Amino acid sequence: MITVVGSIAFDAIKTPFAEGERVLGGAAVHFALAASFFDRVHVVGRVGNDFTDEELAVLTRRGIDTSGIERVADGETFFWRGEYGFDMATRTTHETRLGVFADFNPTLSEQARQAELLFLANIQPTLQRQVRAQVRSPRFTALDSMNIWIREQRDELLAAIAQVDCLIINDGELRELTGRPSLYSAAQAVFALGPGVVVCKQGEYGAALYTKDGEFFALPAYPLEQVIDPTGAGDTFAGGFIGYLAGHPQRRIDTALLREALACGIAVASFNVEGLGTERLQTLEAGELRQRYEDLARFTSFSPAPLPLREPVPAEG
């Protein structure tokens, strides 16, 4: 079973190809929908009185355990308003209202504490530590964060990172966290903090995996004719990645498994961006996911024939 803590939100999204005023979102929601293809997911979070049974049903229909979602009678659900540029690589936040997340104090149920896998989605690092401390003996733990915590709560964030096996983070944030421009070198700096695995999310360029024992693996994103809305792609990726590990309870979490998991994350994330918010994940079928996962292996494999190197014959000038 997987426990995830993170935002549950309403997003107002504007992209060149789609627009929505009150779209179900939040890191924990995107993560849970993706991971639910592989294992039971327990969501820890908070919503306000504006969060209806209809929204809850999006999760429960996928077998997600929502008993850890607290509903605050006089509160408002976390709200984010943002807009994307032409190539979807630039995102402007117009408004963030924390709502019920302003005074969140997560206490996990007995069941949630027994999770084999734990994902601490992007949220205040103190809360991440608080949740981490409550989960007894997870097989694998991962954490995501963002620029605001790197800048404003650096020490708390470093302490939270020290307590997980894996940091899953955007390339720009990995650079900002470590102050190192080379991602390879930045990953080494994270290993010194505690984690043995760094997964670097690179948006439309895919993702890269670095391990403490020197392994490197990278895959491009799935090639798509049109990206509708990238919101939540990173959390969907994390859901596919952690979900895949959860789906293989008997296997050791070694490089081979982590590679397959990364490919799985990329495959699931490719669907997320094809619709507004969680739209596409809600209709995603197993066969479609399987197809893209297998495509990815084809898209990146080549047989290295011997390089046709020649001895240069110095030419006359």
* Residue 91 engages its own copies in binding (rule: CB under 8 A): no
For its own copies, the closer CB: 31 or 130: 31
String marking each residue 211-250 x if it binds its own copies according to CB under 8 A: -----xxxxx--xxxxx----------------x--xx--
Least Å distance between CB 294 and its own copies? 5
CB atoms within 10 A of CB 30: 31
Contact positions with its own copies (CB under 8 A) in 248-267? 248, 256, 259-260, 262-264
Number of residues in contact with its own copies under rule CB under 8 A: 77
Q: Which of 281, 279, 270 is nearest to 225 (CA)?
A: 270
For its own copies, the closer CB: 136 or 251: 251
Q: How far is CA 205 from CA 89, 122, 300, in A?
A: 11, 21, 13
Contact positions with its own copies (CB under 8 A) in 119-178? 172, 175
Least Å distance between CB 163 and its own copies? 26
Q: Give me the helix-helix angle, 171-178 and 183-191, nearest 10°.
A: 60
* Residue 192 engages its own copies in binding (rule: CB under 8 A): no
Q: Which of 24, 88, 108, 143 binds its own copies (CB under 8 A)?
A: 88
Q: How far is CA 2 from CA 51, 116, 128, 170, in A?
A: 23, 6, 15, 22
Least Å distance between CB 132 and its own copies? 24
For its own copies, the closer CB: 39 or 235: 39
Least Å distance between CB 118 and its own copies? 19
Burial of residue 137, with CB atoms counted within 10 A of its CB: 0-12 exposed, 13-18 middle, 19 or more buried: exposed
Burial of residue 177, with CB atoms counted within 10 A of its CB: 0-12 exposed, 13-18 middle, 19 or more buried: buried
* Residue 314 engages its own copies in binding (rule: CB under 8 A): yes
Q: Which of 73, 86, 213, 252 binds its own copies (CB under 8 A)?
A: 86
* Residue 101 engages its own copies in binding (rule: CB under 8 A): no
* Residue 66 engages its own copies in binding (rule: CB under 8 A): yes
For its own copies, the closer CB: 162 or 299: 299
Q: Which of 184, 133, 94 is nearest to 5 (CA)?
A: 133
Least Å distance between CB 6 and its own copies? 18
For its own copies, the closer CB: 162 or 224: 224
Contact positions with its own copies (CB under 8 A) in 26-45? 36-39
* Residue 90 engages its own copies in binding (rule: CB under 8 A): no
Q: Which of 182, 254, 282, 283 binds its own copies (CB under 8 A)?
A: 182
Least Å distance between CB 101 and its own copies? 21
Per-residue burial over 252-274, b = 16 or more CB atoms within 10 Å of its CB, e = otherwise: ebeeeebebbbbbbbbbbbbbbb
